[in-house]
Chains A and B, each alone.
Chain A
Amino acid sequence: MTTIQSADGVAPIHPAADDPDALLAVNDLKVHFPIRRGIFFKRQVGAVKAVDGVSFSVRPGETLGLVGESGCGKTTTGRAITRLIDPTSGSIRFEGQEVARLGRSQMRPLRRQMQMIFQDPYSSLNPRHPIGTIVGAPFRIQGVEPEGGVKKAVQTLLERVGLNPEHYNRYPHEFSGGQRQRIGLARALALQPKLIVCDEPVSALDVSVQAQVVNLMEDLQDEFHLAYVFVAHDLSVVRHIADRVAVMYLGHVMELTDRDVLYTEPMHPYTHALMSAVPVPDPAKENRRERILLKGDLPSPINPPSGCVFHTRCAKYREVLSDAEKERCRGEVPVLETKRPGHFVACHYPEARQDIALAEDAGVEGETVA
């Protein structure tokens, strides 16, 4: 693995974060939440290692999908990027500028460039404000006077996201879930940011409405040249929208590569398990395909397993590896390294499997192990 010293000479830059064209480069990001005990002297007795050394980069106009089970740290990563949560260590570079340690007021001008959309369209909009005020808030907070006035700008935005601009004075409860998510999108777009962090933006929506919002997000991306960090647990939605995907498990990136490569030839045993668990809407294929069942639950991020964090649930560790190899999985933390050009995997014994992902129809007929 090539390590390059970062400009300030402190931490080596991970190859996954080393991209000169990157809009956003996250290097060895850690977010630990302290656990304190005691009444007067709050001693720190441990930490929830929600994000534990994550590196990736996002180019302008690109969509990076962050997928994983609940508790894997994908939401925390998204929130650390927008600085809703303070990172414990690591660097977050936005357009070359280090933002990980900026203060509140120093962050404010940057918020024009990076915005966020939340999962729950019911709690992310203030019920006491009409949507005109909600969508216009970024202008007021940032002190931006758009051409033709705030009201006109807001109505243009509402129209752009497929809402009736005459609904300017309506309140959030008068809208359905899909429409509320559109309001959230309009608010995020108001200042024409370069990056939007989307935290499960379509998970709460019904399939037919979900497709409408996904299409809208893609149109807006093309129109405004937006980059998305798309946090989601639904692998099929991520496959549709993302250009590159990072698979996370217990605070670590397990695999990071182009969408097509990940969905046709995943290499990490966790990615295999995750993909084989997605039910496909085709009864015959469902009956035929192999499912890798993960045993047990996600380990606690307070006390993660030694070595590879996934070894406690890994099917390959359990069934294939020899004792000497198991020793290595338990003792040595696998680094996220380049296994093929642009394909990062954190596993001691990765294996490209084409039979897992049913990305192509041929995947079922020609069941071959690469």
Chain B
Amino acid sequence: MSVTEAPDRTPSPSTHTAFLEVHDLSVHFPTEDGLVKAVDGISFAVERGETLGIVGESGSGKSVTSQAIMGLHKGSRARVSGQILFEGRDLVRIREEEMRLLRGKQIAMIFQDPLSALHPYYTVGNQIVEAYRVHNDVSKQAAKKRTIEMLDRVGIPNPDSRFSDYPHQFSGGMRQRAMIAMALVCDPHLLIADEPTTALDVTVQAQILELMKDLQREFDSAIILITHDLGVVAETCDNVVVMYGGQCVEYGGVDDIFYKPEMPYTWGLLTSMPRMDRTRTERLNPISGQPPSLINVPSGCVFNPRCAYREHVPGDACVTDHPDLLEVVPQHAVRCHIDPDVRRRIWSEQIRPSL
């Protein structure tokens, strides 16, 4: 697993290539108002059996990143650059027809809103059968058998009779299970889950996350979990990318992100959420201001207009220089001008006691 610096346009020919490697991925959308830099130079890697969390607020580019991996921007006006190496192939450059063979078979996706992701006109069973038969040359009977197996596997009661139900006859949690069954029916090696539990109640969320962990163990698949909920990240992820304004601002193992975060934005996320596991505080500590516009991205550090720790940087480097994503220790990279020793001191003296 490696994180390259943002300006590093030619990734070094490393000895080991990860299962999925994203190098300097950018997705820009030309619009009438200007160029929207939804994702701007993001790099990460995922191995099989591992879960990578991508966290950030709305508009931070987390969903666009996942859509780029799925090749969903092909044929649109979006400008995608960089590399997405999946089992040695570059998904940015392959043609739509090749992508279609991978999509659903090798790489599958679970969307946030299962009611709009499932087709209301077809039964749940038939939609899964279709997904299976597109990639596997089997009879309808065999596909149906496989589908019922999958529905059973994801915990839908009476899968035989539920096979011919329509999506509206399922509850929210069951629809999400059906989506997971559809995503996993071809045994994909990479599963992208875009806010899979955001629309669900906590009790159902706990069921679904448990299910995803079980299935990951069983199929040894890699999961990219996109979420804004740090609690979900703590529960499921091995590594975390924190995104802000289309950029990765901090990257590290889940313990580093929660116990030794160094980027002021990560601190802000951790301090602004009310927590069940700590003594109740009188006031929450929000990050002041609003998330940035992706058309007029702030100069210098993308977080600088909302950052409360700029005084620790001499001069106005925060406003003028764009900081690089630098590794502080192996597997933990931070995009910030503040001196690493000062950051660690702020974290241990000011932030952690206030959590």
Contacts and interface: CB of A to CB of B under 8 A. Distances in A.
A49 interface: no
Interface in B275-315: 275-281, 283-288, 290-291
The A interface is mostly helix, strand or loop, or mixed, namely helix
A233 interface: yes
A286 interface: yes
B277 A282 contact: yes
B325 to A, nearest CB: 21
B348 interface: no
B278 A361 contact: yes
Contacts of B234: 279-283, 285-286
Contact of B202 (A179, A208, A277): A277
Nearest to B171: A297
Contacts of A69: 201-204
Interface residues of A, number: 52
Which of A214, A235, A237, A279 counts the most chain B CB atoms within 10 A? A279
Nearest to A276: B206
B272 A236 contact: no
Nearest to A362: B279
A261 interface: no
Contacts, number: 146
B205 interface: yes
Contact of A278 (B233, B272, B276): B276
Nearest to A175: B290
Given A237-B274, A298-B171, A209 B231 contact: no
Nearest to B233: A281
B286 A212 contact: yes
Nearest to A212: B286
Nearest to B284: A211
B295 to A, nearest CB: 14
Contact of B207 (A176, A293, A364): A293
Interface in A247-285: 259-260, 263, 273-285
B57 A297 contact: no
B1 interface: no
Contacts of B203: 69, 273-274, 277, 293-294
B272 A210 contact: yes
Nearest to B291: A206
Interface in B227-261: 228-235, 254-255, 258
A280 B275 contact: yes
B149 interface: no
Contacts of A279: 202, 205-206, 209, 229, 231-232, 234-235
B276 A280 contact: yes
A210 B286 CA distance: 8
A211 B354 CA distance: 15
Nearest to A360: B279
B125 interface: no
Interface of B: 57-58, 157, 171-174, 201-207, 209-210, 228-235, 254-255, 258, 268-270, 272-281, 283-288, 290-291
Given A208-B269, A263-B280, 5 more contacts: A259-B280, A277-B206, A279-B205, A279-B232, A281-B273
11 contacts: A179-B290, A207-B57, A207-B228, A211-B286, A240-B274, A278-B231, A283-B235, A291-B206, A358-B276, A363-B277, A364-B277
